[in-house]
Amino acid sequence: MKYGYSKTVDLSYEDALDRVQETLKDQGFGVLTEIDVQATMKKKLDADMNNYKILGACNPPFAHQALEAEQEIGLLLPCNVIVYSKEDGRTVVSAVDARAMLSVAGDDAEMQQIASEVTQRLRHAVDAVAAGESVQA
């Protein structure tokens, strides 16, 4: 099952991380959490790995709609966006497919509509990083 949308970009890890936060903001998302996977693996396991962050992105109006429709949907929030460096110097930016993630909530039409709009906006944010431009919702 495809559960995300990715683009590999010719940006440094730091530049891609900055850009994705900007483009998420353009799409109405804020970053609620930031998990530095590389630092965590080093601290907990003394394991070295590439730069890797998980951003917990939230679009408050859509989160509110989803929670109004189904309070337990909070188990699936926020929407994760990952940024990680590759050995070739390029960077990968990926966003969860909210439709796939929320499919566990059943066939509720309202939830499917919310998930489709969230997925579209996350894809626009990832595409904007790859294109080097802002894309307004």
Domain containing 103 — which CATH number? 3.30.310.70
Give residue-wise pLDDT tens across range 41-95.
Answer: 999 999 999 999 999 999 999 999 999 988 999 999 999 999 999 999 999 999 9
Sheet holding 91-96, edge to edge: 4-9, 91-96, 79-85, 52-58, 30-36
Mean pLDDT in residue range 112-132: 94
pLDDT at 135: 46
Give the mean pLDDT of the chain: 93
Full domain range(s) for residue 95: 4-131
Look at residue 109 and tell me if it is in a domain: yes
The total of structural domains in the chain comes to 1
Number of neighbours of residue 136 by Cβ within 10 angstroms? 8
18 part of a folded domain: yes
- Specify the pTM: 0.92
32 located within any domain: yes
Give a yes or no: residue 137 inside a domain: no
